[in-house]
Structure 1
Amino acid sequence: MKLLRRAFKGFLCLLLIPVAYLIIALVLTLTTVNSGGQSENTKRTIYLSTNGVHLDVILSKEDVNAMVLKDLRYYKKENYLSFGWGDENFYINTPTWGDLTFSNAFKAMFLKSSTLLHVTRYKQKQSDWVEIKVTDSELQKLNTYLLAAFKRDKAGNKQILPNKGYTPIDDFYKAEGSYTCFNTCNSWVNTAFKNSGLKACLWTPFDFGLMGKYD
């Protein structure tokens, strides 16, 4: 009987961990930072998009800093660049949700691992993108954040993974940082907004947190 009680208490303790994570995540998601009034100098536009789980931030090519554009593959008729960040193993081995395995999800959330930047190119604006007006200063800070996310080789060049994109219009590049349950693809985009002085969540692992700030 004592053994059963101990086992039950251990089970409850394990159950409390994800419950506590979820509650804390929701509270911090609902807490807004940089919520001051919008500046009158918002002459630039960026975009936010989600596939229902994963956030990307999109910039017009003309608003992407030359240093960010350097070494990126893009073509003249492609006018927008989308940036997402995530776990390398998860990105490469889970091109669709049908490919998701418990092993890949567990490794991404709990084990230290290498990361990638996912850059997708578009000829025109997509109808499901959320439009966000920004100032020149906010745009500059966002470009600085994006630039710092790329891992460089010894010569200082960005490192593309050849032939690893899902489609002809996207590529993966080696990135800085490690993906965990506290530093997710969505918290990466949220941090980009926070660091740029844009309205954001205090912290969030979810896509709906940041999207909800711009409904």
Structure 2
Amino acid sequence: MKILQKTLKWFLFFLLIPIGYVIISLILSYITVNKSVLTPKNNKELYLSSNGVHLAVVIQVNDMSNELLKGLKYRPDEEYFSFGWGDENFYLNTPSWDDLTFGSAFKALFLKGSTLIHLARYKQKRKSWVRINVTDTELSKLNQFISASFKRSRNGRKIILKNRGYSINDDFYKAVGRYSLFNTCNTWVNRAFKESGLKACYWTPFAFGLMNKYKK
């Protein structure tokens, strides 16, 4: 009987961990930082893109700094650049949600794997993107944050993974940072907004956390 009671206690303890994670995440996602007011200075645009689970930041090529644009592979007719950040193993081995396995998800969340930046390029903007008006200063800070997220070679160049994109319109680059349960792809985008002075969640691992701040 005592063994059964101890087993039940341990089971409940481990059950509370994911429940606690979700509750705290929802609370922190609801808290807004950098509450912004639209002014004439918000004369630039950027976009949030989401597939429902994964967030990305979309910037028009003319609004990208020379430092961010330098070393990126693209064609002259590609106007919009989408930047996402995530676990390397997950990105490369899970091109679609049909390819998702328990093993790849577990490794991404708990083993702090190396990371990549996913750059997808578009000729035209998509209707599903959420438009955000920003100032020149906010846009400049966002450019700096994204640029600093690229891992560099010894000679300072961005490191592309050749022939590993999902299509001819996207590529992967080595990134800095480690992916974990507390530092997800959506946490990266949210942190980019926070450090740029843009409206953001206090912290969030969810795509809807930041999306809900901007959806009208």
Pairwise TM-score range, normalised by the shorter structure: over 0.9
Q: Secondary structure at the match of 1:177?
A: coil
Q: Is the 8 A contact 2:36 2:198 kept in 1?
A: no
Give the TM-score normalised by the residue count of structure 2.
0.98
1:6, 1:112 → 2: CA distance? 31
Structure 2 match to 1:32: 32
| 1:157-201 deviation digits (Å, cap 9, x = unpaired) | 000000000011000000000000100000100000000000000
Structure 1 match to 2:204: 204
| 1:41-91 deviation digits (Å, cap 9, x = unpaired) | 011000001001000000000001111111100111000100000000000
Q: Aligned runs of 1:127-138 on 2, under 5 Å? A: 127-138=127-138
1:95, 1:73 → 2: CA distance? 20
Give unmatched runs, 5+ long, in structure 1. none
Letter in 1 for 2:195: N
2:39, 2:6 → 1: CA distance? 58
Q: 1:71 aligned to 2:48?
A: no
Q: Secondary structure at the match of 1:47?
A: strand
Identity across matched positions, percent? 58
Q: 1:174 aligned to 2:174?
A: yes
2:36, 2:111 → 1: CA distance? 37
Q: Is the 8 A contact 2:117 2:150 kept in 1?
A: yes
Give the TM-score normalised by the residue count of structure 1.
0.99
1:7, 1:189 → 2: CA distance? 40
Q: Is the 8 A contact 2:78 2:122 kept in 1?
A: yes
Residue 40 of structure 1, CA deviation: 2.6
Residue 112 of structure 1, CA deviation: 1.7
1:151, 1:39 → 2: CA distance? 35
1:145, 1:39 → 2: CA distance? 23
Q: Aligned runs of 1:46-85 on 2, under 5 Å? A: 46-85=46-85
| 1:129-169 deviation digits (Å, cap 9, x = unpaired) | 00000000000000000010000010100000000000110
2:46, 2:122 → 1: CA distance? 14
| Alignment root-mean-square deviation, CA | 0.6
Q: Secondary structure at the match of 2:132?
A: strand
1:118, 1:44 → 2: CA distance? 23
1:52, 1:93 → 2: CA distance? 19
2:77, 2:147 → 1: CA distance? 23
Q: Secondary structure at the match of 2:121?
A: strand
2:54, 2:167 → 1: CA distance? 17
Aligned residues: 215
Q: Secondary structure at the match of 2:116?
A: strand
Letter in 2 for 1:157: R
1:10, 1:74 → 2: CA distance? 53
Q: 1:160 aligned to 2:163?
A: no
Structure 2 match to 1:102: 102
Letter in 2 for 1:143: N
Letter in 2 for 1:165: G
Letter in 2 for 1:85: W
